[in-house]
A = this chain, B = another copy of it.
């Protein structure tokens, strides 16, 4: 087990999603190894640290996982090693770790042997009471091979030796609180379930044609990648399963729906529709809302590529100020770029983003989706000024992030959140903008206009509770 030292994603001051999950069940033989590869490749934006695939044909059960991008972990040989001629069920996972522990043995799917046979679990999100449950089980004699929340879930399922797999999983859902979306496979069934508030997304799809295979995934793009169409979202608190009898549903513990607002602000791909709200459209509305809330006299609207694109188009439309491509983004920038010194680390932003001639002599409205630490924002503003921008008006399509997320988003530690320790005016000064405005919470709600939203990182109201322990920084589970 290697404690690796992958640097954080380069030149990037964004919240990071924990994971993407994917599962398939096919009544007829399909190349599920290959399809699962496509599915998690489409979810790569949700996690770049590790990738894994498990496949079963009802008898054999293969799993491969490792640190790295999907295309790094899976070459032909390694994909072959999970391929089964009569594959029936599979799951896949891409991971971004919240706790900074890029342990190889924490890569998912997590597989284990239990009294319900061999099981594989892939999850997105966090259980806020995992630590208490885990400590209790340790006292009762359980072993934990990993520090992964998934293992707590699997232990809860295994403990109920008198229940069948669906019952035991529903029982485990009732004991673990938090924001999560999971896929679970046995040799013969695929299960998907989502937390009571639906904080983390999960959708169901089905392939047309003879196999009619079912797919469960974090976002619709993963369905499309395998030739499936979107059936519907898994509902908050719902458990669905697929076996030889088809698709079944059980409402386990539904509560008030509060899906994570950051899925629309930044995480989800702009071709995704979650809980019946389109991401691209909501981003354009965020930009329009920003333009209404915080108009400014300027010459061009420039997105921070690529995440500010939708809001910039919206801002330009509502304000009438021309949209322009003022920042070139080097498509080869990424985590493998070397940066041995501090000076070099500053170079990272410069090697990734470079102003075009569009900004020279212009008053620029710069649109980004969020500000976490503010370091990158300052460098971007600086780059624009060096390239001849006369004014830089910064507009952000999310409210200030002041609180940590306990539901699977890595927002940086609270003390690093610039908005939790600085006023907006102080941040403006810090990043060197001529003006700085964040969309209002109300404006964000209206732009998404969905079923309710989790805004905990903005306002500290946690719909699924917080860890019980006084010290919430000690989420890492230790013996």
Chain A contacts to B: CB under 8 angstroms: 1-3, 34, 37-38, 41-42, 44-45, 48, 62-65, 69-72, 74-76, 78-79, 81, 111-115, 117-118, 138-145, 147, 151, 154-155, 158-161, 221, 224-225, 269-271, 273, 278, 280-281, 306, 309-310, 313, 316-317, 322-325, 328-332, 334, 336-338, 340, 344, 347, 350-351, 354-358, 479
CB <8 Å contact, B117 and A479: yes
Q: How far is the CA of A264 from the CA of B479 in the complex (A)?
A: 43
Query: Which B residues are CB-close (under 8 A) to A271?
Result: 328, 354-357
Within the complex, the shortest CB–CB distance from A4 to chain B, in Å, comes to 9
Query: Which B residues are CB-close (under 8 A) to A317?
Result: 322
CB <8 Å contact, B2 and A78: yes
Query: Which B residues are CB-close (under 8 A) to A340?
Result: 34, 76
- With contact pairs A271-B355, A313-B325, A317-B322 given, residues A331 and B347 touching in the complex (Cβ less than 8 Å): no
- With contact pairs A45-B332, A354-B224 given, residues A479 and B325 touching in the complex (Cβ less than 8 Å): no
CB <8 Å contact, A65 and B1: yes
Indicate the member of A64, A144, A479 with the most B CB atoms within 10 Å: A479
- With contact pairs A74-B338, A141-B159, A161-B140 given, residues A350 and B112 touching in the complex (Cβ less than 8 Å): no
CB <8 Å contact, A112 and B144: yes
CB <8 Å contact, B141 and A151: no
CB <8 Å contact, B338 and A71: yes
Sorted nearest first, the 10 A-B pairs with minimum C-beta distance are A141-B159, A71-B336, A280-B356, A113-B479, A113-B144, A44-B332, A271-B354, A145-B145, A278-B357, A271-B328
CB <8 Å contact, A331 and B45: yes
Query: Which B residues are CB-close (under 8 A) to A356?
Result: 270-271, 280
Query: Which B residues are CB-close (under 8 A) to A158?
Result: 138, 141-143
Q: How far is the CA of A180 from the CA of B41 in the complex (A)?
A: 39
- With contact pairs A1-B65, A76-B340, A269-B328 given, residues A161 and B139 touching in the complex (Cβ less than 8 Å): yes
Query: Which B residues are CB-close (under 8 A) to A354?
Result: 221, 224, 269, 271
Given contacts A1-B64, A115-B138, 5 further A-B contacts (CB under 8 A): A72-B336, A79-B338, A113-B144, A143-B155, A309-B325
Query: Which B residues are CB-close (under 8 A) to A221?
Result: 354
Q: How far is the CA of A158 from the CA of B161 in the complex (A)?
A: 19
Within the complex, the shortest CB–CB distance from A58 to chain B, in Å, comes to 14
Indicate the member of A115, A151, A224, A355 with the most B CB atoms within 10 Å: A115
CB <8 Å contact, B113 and A38: no
Q: How far is the CA of A438 from the CA of B112 in the complex (A)?
A: 47
- With contact pairs A139-B115, A325-B313, A479-B113 given, residues A69 and B338 touching in the complex (Cβ less than 8 Å): no
Query: Which B residues are CB-close (under 8 A) to A44?
Result: 330, 332
Q: How far is the CA of A310 from the CA of B340 in the complex (A)?
A: 35
